[in-house]
Structure formats: C-alpha cells, structure tokens
Amino acid sequence: KLSKRLETVAKYIPKNAKFADIGSDHAYLPCYMVKRNNVRFVIAGEVVDGPYQSAVKQVKQEGLSSNISVRKGNGLEVIEPNEVDCVTIAGMGGTLIATILENGKNKLKDSVQRLILQPNVSASSIREWLLKNDWILIDEEILEEDGKIYEVLVAEKGDSRPLYELNKEKALLFGPFLMKEKNAAFVKKWTHEKKNWQRILTNLKSAPESEENTQKSKELERKIKLVDEVITNED
C-alpha cells in the first residue's frame, strides 16, 4: 500500500502517461502506477547507489522490468529527449527540487506536459521557479500523514503571473490554491511555523543589538504578520 502522500502524487499522473520519477528510492510510485495499469512506461531515476539498488531490486521482484526502466543519474539527466510526458519529484526539500528542475531545464522543453512536485519544506522555492520558467500551477494539495505535513504542487506549461497578481509575496509563500482552501493541515502548518518564528524573534530581541539582528527581526515580524493575515482572514 502506498502512503497517503504518494497516493496524492499518483492521483495527478495522467492516465496512460509516460513518466519519470526522479529520486525514486524504492520505486514504490512507479511500481504502484504500473500495477494499476495506469501508465505505459516509467523511468525511475536515482543518483545515490543504495536507493538505486533498492529500486532495481523492487522492480525485478515485482516483475515489472519491461515497464520500468531504472536509471542511475543526477536529476533529469536520466531522461532522453521526448521520452516522457510527465515528471514526478517527491519527498525532498523544495530548494533541491527547484535545483533539479533548473539544471534539467532542457529536458522539459519538448514532450513534458506536466510536473507533479512534492516538497517536504520550502514549497515557495518551487513556486518561484515555476513562475520564472513559464510553468503554471494548476493545482495544489496540503495533507498530514503521521504527524508530518506535505505539499503537492501540480504544474503545466503556461504563465503563472495571474495567480500572483493580488499579492505575490503571500501567494508564493502559502500557495495560491492552498491559501484559498485553508484546510486543517494548512492552518496547522502555518500556526506551527509562526510559533517557531516567534521563538526565534524572542531570542533575537534578547541578543545584543546589531544591524543584522534588527534586519532578521523585521523579516520575521513581517512573515508572522502574513500568517496572521492569511489564517484569520475570513474570505
């Protein structure tokens, strides 16, 4: 059985897709998709040898080697031009996901129509990358599993600017869809972040005064204010 987190990623993979799962580890997502007869072909990419071997073993054990190609390599370099129409990257920090996308930009130019990205932290780095590189966010989810909160971002080619017109800073940080929906996981995540920031702020204020500390405090106060606005705003 797949985790709720990966189920959520799976939900957005189009039927009959050919997709690449980058940082696949045990290749659980590719195996699950092929077993459900939902996809035609999957590349499971891994850069680290241990997880790469786990993926090879899992795919062999399940007898799925004709549908899943396990490849060792960094990020999108395991994809040949026009090989896939969808890319999933799950279970890493948002900054790393954005770096993988940036370094593999040329692989996204042609056949890739959809990106499904699941950052554990720093989803805003991904939103910024998508905005800059003409990928439009078409949906977002936030969910809680085993006490952890995860975000899933779905993007297709297009101009994201309209999504950020009202308040770019807020929408990049919280997610244009998520801040509208404001579900329980969302409120929990940002209440928790706010508490963290408040703790750091208290420490900064009791530390010796410096230009740097004042700057940091201002920044934190600003972010705390944004959380208050988004969470308490009733519309």
Region binding ligand SAM by CB under 6 A among candidate stretches 19-27, 109-117, 168-176, 203-211: 19-27
**Is residue 90 at the binding interface for ligand SAM, with CB under 6 A as the rule?**
yes
Looking at residues 94 to 133 of the shown chain, list those that interact with ligand SAM (rule: CB under 6 A).
Answer: 96, 100
Region binding ligand SAM by CB under 6 A among candidate stretches 45-53, 170-178, 206-214, 223-231: 45-53
**Is residue 48 at the binding interface for ligand SAM, with CB under 6 A as the rule?**
yes
Residue 155: strand, helix, or coil = strand
Beta carbon of residue 104, minimum distance to ligand SAM (angstroms, whole number): 9
- E-assigned strand segments in 105-181: 114-119, 135-145, 148-157
Region binding ligand SAM by CB under 6 A among candidate stretches 92-100, 144-152, 171-179, 185-193: 92-100
**Is residue 46 at the binding interface for ligand SAM, with CB under 6 A as the rule?**
yes
CA-atom Rg of the chain in angstroms: 19
Tell me the residue type at 6.
Answer: L
Among 8, 12, 17, 24, binds ligand SAM (CB under 6 A): 24
Among 91, 111, 187, 198, binds ligand SAM (CB under 6 A): 91
CA distance 188 to 192: 6
Beta carbon of residue 206, minimum distance to ligand SAM (angstroms, whole number): 37
Closest to ligand SAM by CB, 150 or 171: 150
Region binding ligand SAM by CB under 6 A among candidate stretches 39-47, 56-64, 133-141, 166-174: 39-47
Cβ-defined contacts of 4-11 (< 8 Å, 24+):
4/143, 4/145, 5/90, 5/91, 5/118, 5/143, 5/145, 5/150, 5/152, 6/32, 6/90, 6/118, 8/118, 8/141, 8/143, 8/150, 8/152, 9/88, 9/90, 9/116, 9/118, 9/152, 10/38
**Is residue 141 at the binding interface for ligand SAM, with CB under 6 A as the rule?**
no
**Is residue 74 at the binding interface for ligand SAM, with CB under 6 A as the rule?**
yes
In a 13 Å sphere around the CA of 113, the CA atoms on its Cβ side amount to 8
**Six token digits for residue 54:** 């786990």
Token match 């010796």: residue? 208
Residue 91: strand, helix, or coil = strand
**Is residue 47 at the binding interface for ligand SAM, with CB under 6 A as the rule?**
yes
Degrees, nearest 5: CA angle 181-91-68: 115
**Is residue 75 at the binding interface for ligand SAM, with CB under 6 A as the rule?**
yes
**Is residue 14 at the binding interface for ligand SAM, with CB under 6 A as the rule?**
no
For ligand SAM, the binding residues (CB under 6 A) are 6, 22-25, 45-48, 51, 74-75, 90-92, 96, 100
